[in-house]
Amino acid sequence: MILAGRVAVNGEVVRALGTKADPARDVITVDGERVGGAQQRRVIMLHKPRGVVTTVHDPEGRETVRGLLAGVDERVYPVGRLDVQTTGLLLLTNDGALAARLGHPRWAIDRVYRAKVDGRFDEATLTRLRRGVRLPDGKVRPSSARVVRQLPTKTWLELAVHEGRRHIVRRLFEALGHPVDKLARVALGPLHLGGLAPGAWRDLTPQELERLEAAVGLRPAPRPRAAAAVARGPRGRGTPPRTPPPRPGGPRPRGRHGGRSASPAGRETAAGPGPRPRRP
Ligand code: URA
């Protein structure tokens, strides 16, 4: 079957006998039909809190993102990583094909961050940021960048980058002379963190999955919302978020789903300084 080109792993036809694949993580198909995938597919959005490590197991015994997913039995893995001190939107999945595409530069998936940096950001520095900054491992050029709020000695910015190099946003601002004080990821491709509380998680809705898969070429682009809604008829709004487990040593989450709810108007949170001003 392999020599005949009938077997594919994560969408790529394999022809070498002895090719290794993990049925728990990889999507294995024969003649286009999935085999060996006994687990239910899970694609989970987590609001990673500060101080939690983006891994499934930490040899140093620190709290991990996997440990926040109480009740998830499937072997899900983080898609990319957020630094220990970074908060925000993290996907975890057991769908290897989807994870591979989300991390692949070909699909240029935007990661949108809110950053609070030291100092006031002037026009010249914003222009430098937008034009791109040379780092030791290559230039990084945000696909968008804007100042959200200027404080007396700090600046809140929102920027999008479509790559996942290590510490890329922190290094970018460091190179501009404005070290990062707080960093939160608020969107990933078509997905938005919204009001998901720190430490809480939920499965993606079918609509989110559809848009995500379309963004990485795993399915055609979804129909416009109005037409799709008419065709589908009334339906629920997806799975509710899950309560984050109690965090040893950390503040106990509060709010409707056990975590902090969406930031009150004008109040500063790790994900930003409150409502976004309109674009000029
Ligand atoms: N860039 C960083 O510097 N840190 C992150 O956690 C994510 C992007």
Q: Where in the chain is the domain with CATH 3.30.70.1560?
A: 110-188
pLDDT at residue number 15: 87
Which homologous superfamily is 110-188 in?
Answer: Alpha-L RNA-binding motif (3.30.70.1560)
Q: Is the CB–ligand 1 distance for residue 168 below 6 Å?
A: yes
Catalytic residue status for 83: yes
Per-residue pLDDT of the chain (280 residues; tens, 9 = 90+): 777 787 888 888 888 888 888 766 677 777 676 666 567 999 999 999 999 999 999 999 999 999 999 999 999 999 999 999 999 999 999 999 999 999 999 999 999 999 999 999 999 999 999 999 999 999 999 999 999 999 999 999 999 999 999 999 999 999 999 999 999 999 999 999 999 999 999 999 999 999 999 999 998 887 776 666 665 555 444 467 876 655 554 443 333 333 333 333 334 555 666 544 343 3
> Residue whose CA is closest, atom 3 of ligand 1?
167
Alpha carbon of 8 to ligand 1 centroid (Å): 33
What is the Cβ-side half-sphere exposure of residue 69, based on CA atoms within 13 angstroms?
25
| Residue-level length of the chain | 280
Q: Is the CB–ligand 1 distance for residue 86 below 6 Å?
A: yes
Alpha carbon of 249 to ligand 1 centroid (Å): 24
Provide the CATH number for the domain formed by 43-105+191-223 in this structure: 3.30.70.580
* Position in ligand 1 atom list of the atom nearest CA 185: 7
* Position in ligand 1 atom list of the atom nearest CA 81: 6
Ligand 1, from 82, 91, 133, 158: best to mutate by most atoms within 8 Å of Cβ? 82
- Sequence-separated (6 or more) residues with CB below 8 Å from residue 45: 89, 90, 91, 191, 193, 196, 201, 202, 203, 204, 208
Within 10 angstroms of residue 91's Cβ, the number of other Cβ atoms is 22
Q: Which amino acid is at 158?
A: E
Q: Is the CB–ligand 1 distance for residue 169 below 6 Å?
A: yes
- Sequence-separated (6 or more) residues with CB below 8 Å from residue 226: none
Q: Which CATH number fits domain 1-38: 2.60.120.380, 3.10.290.10, 3.50.40.10, 1.25.40.10?
A: 3.10.290.10
Ligand 1, from 46, 86, 114: best to mutate by most atoms within 8 Å of Cβ? 86
- Nearest Cα to 41, choosing from 177, 270, 213? 213
Q: Is the CB–ligand 1 distance for residue 93 below 6 Å?
A: no
Alpha carbon of 165 to ligand 1 centroid (Å): 8
Alpha carbon of 181 to ligand 1 centroid (Å): 12
- Nearest Cα to 72, choosing from 254, 251, 200? 200
Which residue out of 83, 110, 118, 181 is catalytically annotated?
Answer: 83
pLDDT at residue number 271: 63
pLDDT at residue number 24: 63
Q: Where in the chain is the domain with CATH 3.10.290.10?
A: 1-38
pTM for this model (two decimals): 0.74
- Nearest Cα to 83, choosing from 201, 175, 164? 164
Alpha carbon of 169 to ligand 1 centroid (Å): 5
